[in-house]
Structure 1
Amino acid sequence: MKLVVTIVGKDRVGIIAMVSNILAENNVNILNINQNIMEGFFNMVMIVEMTDSKIKLQELQKILKEKGSEINLDIKVQHQDIFNVMHNV
């Protein structure tokens, strides 16, 4: 299953490392990353694959949301199909 991970917040050292480590620990493969920083604000979208992962989507969402909250980031994880429907106008 492919997921879309979005991360928004004030830029700081270690954001990509923190998210990547959580994904790696849960056997979630990163397929694509697009990130930019505008006037001190970090924005990243990742496409990931969790076919080989044992973790459930809801558990991954909870872990990333909690870790993000600890450092004032908004991290969302959505199934790619839901993301596509929400952003298809």
Structure 2
Amino acid sequence: MNLERLVLLMRAVVTVIGKDAVGILAKVSTKCAEYNANVIEVTQSVLQDLFAMIMLVDITKLNSDFATMADGLTELGQTMGVKIHTMHEDIFNCMHHI
């Protein structure tokens, strides 16, 4: 019998908040790519000069551990003058489960 290997998709939620500037989406998605994290979905809004973005990222094939990626994104945000928060989907689901 041929048993197929079950591959679980692991995802993370990345939020970015700050003053709008050119290239925020490009820089954050490039940083994700450096960790081999694939951006699945993105929503963003600009309200006057405030930029807000939520990304859903596939972290199944990360080339580092999750904490390293999260720290790298936080550091990127600091250099860009925005706040970047990265949360594993499991934690996100537990926080928002009713």
Query: Could you say which TM-score interval applies, normalised by the shorter chain?
Result: over 0.9
Following the alignment from structure 1 to structure 2, what is the Cα–Cα distance between the partners of residues 5 and 42?
14
Q: Which has the larger radius of gyration?
A: 2
Following the alignment from structure 2 to structure 1, what is the Cα–Cα distance between the partners of residues 55 and 34?
16
Please identify runs of 4+ aligned residues in structure 1 that moved more than 6 A.
none
**32-41 vs 77-86, which moves further:** 77-86
What is the deviation of 1:76?
0.6
Normalised by the length of structure 2, the TM-score is 0.84
Counting matched residue pairs gives 89
1:19 — aligned with what? 28
2:12 — aligned with what? 3
- What percent of counterpart residues are identical? 38
Normalised by the length of structure 1, the TM-score is 0.92
Q: Which amino acid aligns with 2:92?
A: F
What is the deviation of 1:81?
2.0
* Alignment pair present for 1:28 and 2:37: yes
**Could you give the per-residue CA deviations for residues 19-48 of structure 1, whole angstroms, max 9, x where no partner exists?**
011111211111100100011100000000
Following the alignment from structure 1 to structure 2, what is the Cα–Cα distance between the partners of residues 84 and 21?
26
The unaligned stretches of length 5 or more in structure 2 are: 1-9
2:3 — aligned with what? none
Following the alignment from structure 1 to structure 2, what is the Cα–Cα distance between the partners of residues 3 and 27?
13
What is the deviation of 1:88?
4.2
What is the deviation of 1:85?
2.6
